[in-house]
């Protein structure tokens, strides 16, 4: 089973994912920031057994603010306009209809899937070390919480359950230009990643009608797997929501 999150319309990154799996689970954010939202939605619709809605899917589907931090707001706004311009109403309806969370059982292991956190499936930005994971009311039957949103992979054991974030496929922020994912096989979970042709994605972004500043920021994130520094005259707070 292949588990992925935060694809962000990056077709080149998707192409390096494992191609053979019995199930694909997607933890949201199919769109925004990247140049190929329609193709990524179609890939997920064709391949995925379970998909939950991310804040950017919600934004495009319902024409609402994705609630990004100041550092990412311009990137989200400009790519959101592009995404809305190229998606059919039928694809936007698909995003609207995605559930906020899902549950599944495989081999006696019970999973809860959401994009951010169970108490706030769309927006809360919670790091691995946060004590709030201990307070999640997920039910005693849940063995593994699968979450995304931060673009940073981690696995944390909390007594009888684990929280797992596979990281981001399309816009990694763990310090390397890679597509990150997790695999569940034979009762064991492993975290992995693969390099992809980042410059091809950057070239596609260059051809879009983006401001120079937004293009440079998006290219920086893709190439470096990290958040670009705020402009020297910026008073923006540190980024919270990707």
Q: Looking at the DSSP assignment, which residues form a beta bridge with residue 117?
A: 120
Report the distance separating Cα 196 and Cα 176, nearest Å: 11
* Domain-located, residue 172: yes
Task: Report, in this order, helix, strand and coil percent for the chain, each rounded to 5.
Answer: 30, 20, 50
pLDDT at 137: 87
Structure tokens at 56: 């950017």
Task: Give, rounded to a whole angstrom, the gap between the first and last alpha carbons of the chain.
Answer: 26
Number of domains, the chain: 1
| Residue 190 Cα distances to 78, 105, 166, angstroms | 35, 18, 9
Residue 242's pLDDT band (boundaries 50, 70, 90)? low
User: pLDDT for 88-119, tens place per residue?
Assistant: 999 999 999 999 999 999 999 999 999 999 99
User: pLDDT for 182-199, tens place per residue?
Assistant: 999 999 999 999 999 999
pLDDT at 234 over 70: no
* Domain-located, residue 185: yes
Structure tokens at 165: 């974030």
pLDDT at 233 over 70: no
Q: What CATH number has the domain bearing residue 157? A: 3.60.21.10
**With pLDDT > 70 as the criterion, what percentage of the chain qualifies?**
95
pLDDT at 148 over 60: yes
pLDDT at 232: 63
Residue 240's pLDDT band (boundaries 50, 70, 90)? low
**Cβ–Cβ under 8 Å, residues 61 and 53:** yes
* Domain-located, residue 11: yes
Torsion angle, CA of 85/203/74/71, rounded to 10 degrees? 150
Q: How many CB atoms lie within 10 A of CB 99?
A: 12
* Domain-located, residue 176: yes
Structure tokens at 10: 């990056």
pLDDT at 149: 98
* Domain-located, residue 135: yes
* Domain-located, residue 167: yes
Residue 236's pLDDT band (boundaries 50, 70, 90)? very low
* Domain-located, residue 36: yes
Average pLDDT over residues 127-144: 93
User: pLDDT for 41-95, tens place per residue?
Assistant: 999 999 999 999 999 999 999 999 999 988 999 999 999 999 999 999 999 999 9
pLDDT at 133 over 80: yes
Contacts 24+ apart (CB under 8 A), 62-69: 62/96, 66/32, 66/241, 67/123, 67/241, 68/239, 68/241, 68/242, 69/236, 69/237, 69/238, 69/239, 69/240, 69/241
Report the distance separating Cα 156 and Cα 129, nearest Å: 8
* Domain-located, residue 233: no
| Residue 109 Cα distances to 74, 135, 182, angstroms | 41, 21, 16
**Cβ–Cβ under 8 Å, residues 169 and 181:** yes
For 154, the domain range is 2-224
Write down how long the chain is. 242
pLDDT at 188: 95
């Amino acid at each position: 089973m292949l588990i992925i999150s935060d694809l962000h319309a990056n077709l080149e990154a998707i192409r390096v994912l494992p191609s053979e799996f019995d199930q694909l689970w997607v933890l949201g954010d199919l769109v925004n920031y990247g140049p190929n939202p329609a193709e990524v939605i179609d890939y997920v619709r064709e391949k995925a057994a379970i998909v939950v809605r991310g804040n950017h899917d919600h934004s495009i589907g319902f024409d609402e603010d994705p609630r990004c931090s100041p550092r990412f707001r311009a990137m989200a706004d400009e790519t959101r306009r592009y995404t809305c311009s190229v998606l059919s109403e039928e694809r936007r309806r698909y995003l609207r209809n995605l559930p906020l969370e899902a549950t599944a059982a495989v081999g006696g292991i019970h999973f809860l899937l959401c994009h951010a956190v169970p108490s706030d499936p769309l927006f809360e930005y919670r790091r691995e070390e946060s004590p709030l994971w201990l307070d999640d009311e997920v039910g005693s039957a849940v063995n593994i919480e699968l979450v995304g949103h931060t673009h940073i992979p981690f696995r944390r054991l909390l007594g009888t359950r684990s929280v797992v974030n596979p990281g981001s496929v399309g816009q990694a922020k763990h310090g390397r230009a890679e597509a990150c994912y997790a695999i569940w096989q034979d009762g064991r979970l492993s975290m992995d990643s693969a390099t992809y042709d980042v410059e091809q994605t950057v070239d596609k972004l260059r051809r879009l009608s983006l401001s120079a500043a937004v293009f440079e920021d998006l290219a920086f994130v893709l190439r470096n797997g990290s958040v670009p520094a705020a402009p020297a005259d910026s008073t923006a707070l540190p980024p919270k929501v990707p």
